[in-house]
């Protein structure tokens, strides 16, 4: 009865609304939404992609820094998708949906080659991809583009979306409600933020790709503004199941001082290039907690170690620890971490010579909307891709596994 009332209500006010019809509605303009729109456009006549911000520039993907995990075996020939799969499961505490994790690890290299053919450029070591080591990965398998890998991934995706005439992109549109008829998607309601105009989309398929809910935590948050759980609410209200919603990831190294930089991420790539963590006593404390992996332990474990140091009185003046690359050649720091160098210089900090004060901050929604191996929900015609979909990462996401996940799930 509830679903029927929604449909009848839609019919009663249809003359007062701007009404649009499309085969597929993609909600979210980041990497997973863009890749999903590209794939959908191959099979249907009309795809609408709507985003609260500016397509290709807002959301999480353009600000992703550390890298993209794909087991090419360039840095170590022993690497393959099965080892990547095993690392992903161990990192997730074996809570992962193993079929989803398997698909991601198997398809990641192909998706990289694909987005590269669309115009994205990744760092090279000779004629092969440069690949760095990140926490929880057995081998160096993380591709980079300086320390702005996400922005580079979006270059290829945006190029391809713009080139497809049956993809219509609508910026500044906030979807507020989905409509169903007998557990099947039949439409969506939204508002055009610049004009206040109410929009109705008639569609039989909706792909939710809006990212996570990090902005529910303040003040220390790495997620961009607008990530407040919209996708979870939209799906839940029409009966979609959620999974692992209690599993939220903290990143161990977000800037806490100077205050105006608080919440800025110090990429895991910095530790991947050799960055070290020290407490207020000058101790490289990860030697006590994980003497083999040190700073390349998984994010959840490193965050707990930093928390313990602070709670036991060995924290820095503002409640964190020190992250230092001063022992590395300045040229390496400048080449591999240019964004971090530039941001800190604005605050009068030369990270090539002095440490940065960091602490754990909320970063990534591991759980989310429950999906099957086609990233379909239990509501017919409703799909979820990227961070908003739960299951791939289990209890903890390995660094650089977000980008292969969004490319593979979107496809």
Q: Would you call the peptide bond into 124 cis, given omega within 30 degrees of 0 as the criterion?
A: no
Task: Please check whether residue 50 is in contact with residue 231, taking contact to mean a CB–CB distance below 8 angstroms.
Answer: no
- Taking the C-alpha atoms of residue 143 and residue 131, their distance in angstroms, rounded to an integer, is 5
**Other CB atoms within 10 A of residue 353 CB:** 11
Catalytic residue numbers? Answer: 251, 271
- Taking the C-alpha atoms of residue 371 and residue 232, their distance in angstroms, rounded to an integer, is 12
The tokens for 249 are: 């990831």
């Amino acid at each position: 009865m509830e679903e029927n009332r929604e449909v009848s209500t839609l019919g009663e006010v249809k003359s007062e609304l701007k009404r649009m019809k499309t085969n597929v509605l993609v909600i979210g303009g980041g990497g997973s939404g863009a890749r999903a729109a590209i794939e959908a456009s191959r099979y249907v006549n009309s795809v609408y992609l709507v985003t609260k911000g500016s397509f290709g520039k807002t959301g999480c993907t353009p600000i992703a820094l550390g890298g993209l995990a794909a087991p090419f075996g360039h840095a170590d020939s022993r690497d393959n998708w099965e080892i990547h799969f095993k690392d992903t499961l161990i990192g997730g505490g074996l809570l992962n949906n193993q079929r989803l994790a398997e698909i991601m690890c198997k398809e990641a290299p192909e998706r990289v080659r694909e987005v590269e053919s669309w115009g994205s450029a990744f760092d090279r070591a000779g004629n092969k991809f440069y690949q760095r080591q990140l926490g929880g990965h057995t081998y160096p398998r993380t591709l980079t583009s300086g320390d702005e890998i996400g922005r580079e991934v979006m270059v290829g995706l945006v190029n391809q979306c713009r080139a497809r005439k049956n993809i219509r992109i609508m910026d500044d549109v906030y979807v507020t409600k989905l409509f169903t008829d007998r557990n099947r998607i039949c439409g969506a309601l939204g508002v055009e933020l610049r004009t206040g105009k109410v929009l109705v989309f008639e569609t039989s398929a909706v792909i939710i790709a809006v990212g996570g809910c990090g902005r529910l935590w303040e003040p220390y948050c790495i997620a961009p503004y607008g990530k407040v759980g919209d996708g979870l609410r939209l799906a839940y209200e029409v009966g979609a199941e959620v999974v692992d919603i209690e599993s939220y990831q903290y990143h161990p190294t977000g800037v806490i001082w100077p205050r105006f930089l608080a919440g800025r991420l110090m990429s895991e790539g910095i530790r991947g290039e050799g960055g070290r963590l020290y407490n207020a006593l000058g101790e490289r404390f990860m030697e006590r907690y994980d003497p083999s992996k040190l700073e390349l332990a998984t994010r959840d474990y490193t965050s707990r170690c930093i928390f313990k140091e602070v709670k036991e009185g060995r924290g820095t003046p503002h409640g964190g620890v020190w992250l230092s690359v001063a022992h590395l050649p300045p040229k390496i720091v400048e080449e591999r971490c240019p964004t971090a160098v530039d941001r800190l210089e604005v605050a009068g900090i030369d990270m090539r010579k002095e440490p940065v004060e960091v602490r754990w901050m909320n970063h990534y929604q591991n759980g989310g909307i429950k999906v099957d191996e086609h990233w379909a929900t239990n509501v017919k015609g409703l799909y979820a891709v990227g961070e908003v979909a739960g299951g791939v990462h289990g209890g903890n996401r390995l660094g650089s596994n977000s980008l292969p996940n969004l490319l593979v799930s979107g496809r």
